[in-house]
């Protein structure tokens, strides 16, 4: 078998429908590339200077962990903790330790953003779906949803959560970054070699490559998707981007971003098209990038106050 050929069917993890390949593993120049799709995102695991068997094992474990998180926290399922919370009908629910950590993180984001990062705002997606949408939602429709939004209205006394009637929560805003860090920790327990985890542009790197080189990561140009705007050298830490270049609608010549203000129900205006942040881990990078974007024209002021490394694209 040639080095760049995909591994044969014996090296493909099967889950659910056994006719579908869960992941692929390909040999590149000096590293293995594992690829799969989870959370509706293309996911990559780059493993430096490992043998094939170890690379396969680590990619299989990475896929399984990412899939576990998706199944547990997807708002599109009716058999997980999110579904239970969203159908609790004014009942107080006790959540597990992992869910407690995620809700605490969401609560921190809410506080740090002055209420702009709100896991109860997903209900606005009923009106703003950004897929072949040619008209704006009505003011009346938006106002009808606003009473069901506002994390401050929930009663969170860990591990007990009580949601008001008709409030729904969605942890998708932090789920992918959380999955990146969880997979990275799993890999660090299994190997001392360098690796890069990339879930749809949310990234974590544990160390420089065996030849001493940093990992080179391209940041996409929001004005020309598929083209890189700049290259970032990563040795250790997380990198995440948040932007409005791929999800938006245009009505009467005006662009409306998918980044919504939960207090008004309308898209955030002003500010950069994309924010990229480097931080200690992917969750922190993603949190800062998303909150900065929510600040609109004050995005850079917020980032400067956090004393972090960042890049803005207009």
In-domain check, residue 51 = yes
- Residue 147 CA: distances (Å) to CA of 114, 120, 142, 275: 18, 11, 10, 30
In-domain check, residue 90 = yes
In-domain check, residue 46 = yes
Q: Which of 286, 272, 270, 287 lies closest to 221 in space, CA to CA?
A: 272
Query: Structure tokens of 34?
Result: 């594992």
In-domain check, residue 128 = yes
Domain boundary among 114, 146, 170: 170
DSSP H stretches of helix in the chain: 52-73, 81-86, 97-112, 139-145, 172-190, 282-294, 299-306
Q: What is the pLDDT of residues 72-107, one digit of tens each?
A: 999 999 999 999 999 998 899 999 999 999 999 999
pLDDT of residue 16: 39
Q: Assess whether 71 and 205 both reside in one domain.
A: yes
Q: What is the pLDDT of residues 134-158, one digit of tens each?
A: 889 999 999 999 999 999 999 999 9
Q: Is the alpha carbon torsion for 74, 197, 246, 151 positive or negative?
A: positive
Q: Which residues pair with 231 in a beta bridge?
A: 218
In whole angstroms, what is the distance from residue 158 CA to residue 33 CA? 40
Please report, for the domain that includes residue 311, its CATH number. Answer: 3.10.520.10
Q: Assess whether 69 and 181 both reside in one domain.
A: yes
Helix pair angle (282-294, 299-306), 10° resolution: 150
Domain boundary among 144, 170, 196: 170
In whole angstroms, what is the distance from residue 240 CA to residue 285 CA? 5
Beta carbons within 8 Å of 140's beta carbon, 6+ residues apart: none
Q: Assess whether 230 and 312 both reside in one domain.
A: yes
pTM for this structure?
0.90
Q: Assess whether 142 and 164 both reside in one domain.
A: yes
Helix pair angle (97-112, 172-190), 10° resolution: 130
Q: Assess whether 269 and 306 both reside in one domain.
A: yes
In-domain check, residue 294 = yes
Based on the structure, what is the number of domains in the chain? 3
Average pLDDT of the segment spanning 287-308:
94
In-domain check, residue 155 = yes
Q: Assess whether 71 and 180 both reside in one domain.
A: yes
pLDDT of residue 103: 98
Q: Assess whether 112 and 157 both reside in one domain.
A: yes
Q: Assess whether 125 and 254 both reside in one domain.
A: no
Q: Which of 123, 122, 118 lies closest to 103 in space, CA to CA?
A: 118
In whole angstroms, what is the distance from residue 69 CA to residue 80 CA? 10
Please report, for the domain that includes residue 121, its CATH number. Answer: 1.10.3980.10
Q: Assess whether 238 and 295 both reside in one domain.
A: yes
In-domain check, residue 149 = yes
Maximum Cα–Cα distance for the chain, whole Å? 62
Phi, psi of 281 (to 5 degrees): -145, 175
Residue 54 Cα to chain centre, angstroms: 27
Q: Assess whether 99 and 85 both reside in one domain.
A: yes
In whole angstroms, what is the distance from residue 162 CA to residue 135 CA? 35
Query: Structure tokens of 112?
Result: 């740090």
255 has pLDDT over 70: yes
pLDDT of residue 224: 60
Q: Assess whether 220 and 244 both reside in one domain.
A: yes
169 has pLDDT over 90: yes
Do residues 71 and 55 touch, judged by C-beta distance below 8 A?
no
- Domain with 224, as residue range(s), is 214-314
Percentage of the chain modeled with pLDDT above 90: 74
Q: Assess whether 191 and 57 both reside in one domain.
A: yes
DSSP 136: P
In whole angstroms, what is the distance from residue 90 CA to residue 106 CA? 20
Using DSSP, how many helices (H) and how many strands (E) does the chain show?
7, 15
In-domain check, residue 187 = yes
């Amino acid at each position: 078998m040639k080095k760049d050929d995909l591994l044969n069917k014996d090296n493909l993890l099967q889950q659910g429908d056994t006719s579908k390949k869960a992941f692929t593993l390909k040999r590149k120049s000096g590293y293995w590339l594992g690829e799969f799709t989870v959370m509706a995102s293309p996911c990559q695991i780059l493993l430096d200077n490992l043998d094939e068997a170890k690379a396969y094992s680590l990619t299989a474990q990475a896929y399984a962990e990412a899939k576990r998180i998706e199944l547990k926290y997807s708002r599109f399922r009716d058999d997980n903790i999110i579904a239970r919370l969203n159908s609790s009908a004014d009942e107080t629910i006790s959540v597990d330790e992992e869910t407690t950590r995620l809700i605490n993180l969401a609560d921190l984001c809410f506080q740090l953003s002055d209420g702009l990062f709100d896991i109860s705002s997903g209900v606005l997606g009923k009106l703003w779906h950004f897929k072949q949408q040619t008209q704006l939602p009505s003011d009346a429709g938006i106002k009808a949803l606003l009473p069901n939004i506002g994390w401050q209205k929930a009663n969170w006394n860990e591990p007990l959560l009580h949601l008001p009637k008709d409030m729904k929560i969605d942890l998708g805003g932090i789920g992918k970054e959380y999955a990146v860090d969880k997979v990275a920790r799993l890999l660090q327990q299994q190997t001392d070699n360098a690796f890069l985890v990339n879930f749809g542009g949310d990234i974590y790197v544990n160390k420089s490559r065996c030849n001493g080189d940093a990992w080179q990561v391209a940041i996409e140009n929001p004005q020309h998707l598929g083209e890189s705007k700049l290259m970032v050298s990563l040795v250790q830490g997380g990198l995440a981007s948040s932007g409005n270049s791929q999800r938006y609608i245009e009505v009467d010549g005006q662009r409306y971003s998918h980044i919504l203000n939960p207090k008004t129900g309308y898209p955030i205006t002003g500010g950069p098209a994309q924010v990229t942040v480097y931080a200690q881990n992917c969750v922190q990078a993603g949190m800062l990038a998303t909150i900065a974007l929510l600040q609109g024209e004050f995005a850079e002021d917020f980032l400067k106050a956090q004393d972090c490394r960042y890049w803005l694209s207009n």
